[in-house]
Amino acid sequence: MPGLTEAEYFSSVAQWRARLKAREISAVELAKAFCARLEALGPRYNALALPLTKRALSKAKDVDGDIKIDRWRSALQGIPFAVKDLLSVAGFPTTWGAKPYAAQVFKKDATVVSKLDSAGAVLTGKLSMVELAGGGGYRYPAASLFGPGLNPWDLGRWSGGSSSGSGSAVAAGLVPFAIGSETWGSILTPAAYCGITGLRPTYGYVSRSGAMALSWTMDKIGPMCRSAEDCGLVLQAIAGGDSDDPGSSGKSFYFAPQYARKLTDLRVGYAEVDFNGWAEPAARPAFEKALATVREMGVKLVKTALPEMPYGLAAGAIIAAEGSAIFEPLIESGKVDELADKNQAAGLKAGLNLSAKDYLKAMRIRTLVQQAMRKIFTEVDVLVSPARFGPASKIGDRLDARPPVSPLPKDRGMSDLGAAGNLAGLPALCLPCGFAEELPVAIQLVGRPFSENTLLAVGMAFQERTDWHKRKPKV
């Protein structure tokens, strides 16, 4: 690739920022290098939806003009990035990963894209995703216009959904950071499977204007990066109120981990069974070592468990009802049958038949979940558990047929934290913590609403003591 060594493609945002400020490399040189790498290697992982090289080089030229006169706009100025293909980029296709929308073009950039452009970041491309972000429920990783997301650590394994391209691209050093989205696991899963750091922000922190909707009350947009520090730098640029998003919290985010509470003052909730019972046997040593590292950081570990509730059923019902309502025109037109995964098409159709009574029951349960999580966070400041209980699945495996650990633990621990956290709109940070079967595994930190600085401070302390986030696959 032009101008850079293989190792340099895995540099952090902070490292590139320092080199740009020192005039060691220009924004145009950086953009050319990453654009070439994304175009050359993106298809290897089915990660590239659309290259935007011409746009990137034009932006990079403008950035170099600013740098020449010492006009510094943000920590992301001149840094290449790419976005999940559910975010609109004016004048270019936004496919949502699905054949029926392959020629769809919007006239306006998504708010997140506009914010990053204003910050001086350089958009190099759009990244592949599971069709319609998984709306309706998909059975195979191949449920995408671009094919199954392939994991850079093992091309026979999945990169995770639905932000599959974002996970692969960051892990393979095709971009320093990417933007993904999560309704129920779509940032944390690919981050965990690909060995990168992903941040699911508090619901409403980041505008979804210009993003495909799957669930109006659960969709969230966030950064997928090489480190917790990078996630904080990106979140600062993309967070903030937006009148074009009815779910916007109206809050801005300032990355200031130095002002977070001391680690020794923090109470971190955990459930032992998550690490040695629900976790797949091959992953248990890595998870238990990660928990030991958290303990060594000086926090107070507190045994915690989620109350018994139908978390998954409630989340599934809400997403099904809202997703099918959103895609009703697609369903009624019959074009839903063009989706790659027939199980997904059937699920979207079935969602139209979900009764108002069942949807309202799910929303009532959601209120109870939010109350329960508020109670838990009166006793602890952060929750820690495995982000996923094992490494990435094989590309040909059915996603709904992966065998659970046997025998199933009697204690639920916090095994439902993914569903509970998304129902309650809580932030979560995914941190690589080791390997199982030569594939990455990760832990997640979950906190109160708008406690991202605390999560990032804990995540940075964890990454100061480990180097898992610095490991890179053979590309």
Structure tokens belonging to residue 276: 């040695």
Longest distance between any two alpha carbons in the chain, whole Å: 65
Structure tokens belonging to residue 127: 């990244």
Catalytic residue among 12, 26, 88, 162: 162
| Distance, CA of 217 to CA of 422 (rounded, Å) | 10
Catalytic residue among 59, 84, 115, 126: 84
Cβ neighbors of 422 (< 8 A, separation 6 or more) are 182, 183, 184, 185, 200, 218, 220, 315
Catalytic residue among 186, 215, 227, 385: 186
Owner of token pair 């746009």? 55
Q: Is 470 a catalytic residue?
A: no
Q: Is 84 a catalytic residue?
A: yes
Q: What is the β-pairing status of strands 80-84 and 177-182?
A: parallel
Q: Is 186 a catalytic residue?
A: yes
| Distance, CA of 421 to CA of 185 (rounded, Å) | 10
The CB-based long-range contact list for 397-402 (8 Å cut-off, 24+ gap) reads 398/139, 398/140, 399/138, 399/139, 399/140, 399/141, 400/139
Nearest 5°: the CA angle 214, 247, 182 is: 40
What DSSP element (H or E) covers 73?
none
Q: Supply the residues annotated as catalytic.
A: 84, 162, 186
